[in-house]
Structure 1
């Protein structure tokens, strides 16, 4: 929660408050409201998205990532996907949210394998990555925005995704 409280940027979801309800055994978080839900929900609902809108969203997502990555040390989101990008459709405003898996890069490379397999950069599987892993995830988000499908939708499980991602020759 401490990390969320410190982030102040126009393309990062604003955090207001949080508390633990011991009785219900829940953590409650209050953030700003996004009337159109996640970018994934919005794209699925509208099915036809203007290229100009996608370009605007891409610019805003990259601005948010730039803000996170330019911290010293950098902050890595580690679970960037359209489900974690929120939109106010009328304004075309998008913001990166759900920073629950985010980490501050205290060393040259992070080590834990974490995130959503369809959006994970190949280097995450090798347990040695940096903030550039978020750029790969951004590319997967772009793919989803224009195809309206999750990347690697032909795969039935995480092992198949890993096999496909790790077999790509650079």
Structure 2
């Protein structure tokens, strides 16, 4: 095993808890995040001298559910094939038979996810929000025009990550992504209810469900409120979404152009524009970048 690279910060002087089979990546004990399926730890790439995210799945938990393992393996294979500035990069993956874990190393985003970042920075200009939105759409455009088409299906502000020092956002957590042929519709129900397009509940949808979720992300960025927070159950969210009742947070968006743009994204599937069309929308055009602050919500 190669020697550990010395690091100036006290935090990094602790030994690695484990090292990957090649000896290139080391894992620390600090947890960056945890979901239903995986835990994400702080890691270090000794060859390139950079921080990484070490994603680890304990396979024992899913021994009775091979579909979860199959889904994770397809996530990893999919991530490995994607190359775009606005999609989280996957560096390496392997199965550890001894520990019965599936591990994959992805790039680390210095400022965490967009939800937490936006809460931390309550006063963000409209220009900054447009910049983030353009980057998310560029990532979605790449996924949707990929061959085969890739639908994320679970886009929300907690799985869009940001490098705050350069203001760059990247789409991550493609675990629920579904690769569908251009002529096929996807047929499975999965996602985060507040961000799910109505047609997702009917289990017959296209990549435009991601545009709906993107619209809800914009609403959250503008109001710092999770859409449909007025609903106290998933059943009520489902009822509102399928009945076409818009989230109350939309009434808090006083910038009429922004509100109209969000409404365009969360409209009926047949009226919803593609990511490439939205990128050309006058609302997001680069010449429209001015320094006017949006109505800062608290």
Match of 1:66? 141
- 1:145 alignment partner, SS class: helix
1: CA distance, partners of 2:193 / 2:179: 21
Q: Deviations over 1:11-31 (max 9, x none)?
A: 001111122334444322211
* C-alpha RMSD of matched pairs (Å): 1.3
Is 2:189 aligned against 1:113? yes
Is 2:156 aligned against 1:81? yes
Q: Deviations over 1:100-139 (max 9, x none)?
A: 0001113521110110001000000011001000000000
Give the drift of 1:46.
Answer: 1.3
Match of 2:125? 50
2: CA distance, partners of 1:34 / 1:53: 18
Alpha-carbon spacing, 1:24–1:148, altered in 2? closer, same or farther (3 Å): farther
Match of 1:7? 82
Match of 2:113? 38
1: CA distance, partners of 2:193 / 2:97: 32
Higher RCO, 1 vs 2 (CA within 8 Å, ≥6 residues apart): 1
- 2:175 alignment partner, SS class: coil
- 2:104 alignment partner, SS class: strand
Of residues 160, 175, 178, the one that matches 1:100 is: 175
Q: Deviations over 1:64-118 (max 9, x none)?
A: 0000000122100000001010001120100000000001113521110110001
- 1:27 alignment partner, SS class: strand
Task: Summarize the alignment of residues 118-157 of structure 1 with structure 2, pairs less than 5 Å apart.
Answer: 118-157=194-233
TM-score by length of 2: 0.55
Alpha-carbon spacing, 1:71–1:50, altered in 2? closer, same or farther (3 Å): same
TM-score by length of 1: 0.95
2: CA distance, partners of 1:154 / 1:148: 14
2: CA distance, partners of 1:130 / 1:56: 26
1: CA distance, partners of 2:122 / 2:228: 19
- 1:100 alignment partner, SS class: helix
Give the drift of 1:158.
Answer: 1.1
Give the drift of 1:155.
Answer: 1.0
2: CA distance, partners of 1:26 / 1:147: 39
Gaps of 5+ in 2: 1-75, 246-267, 269-298
**Greater share of strand:** 2
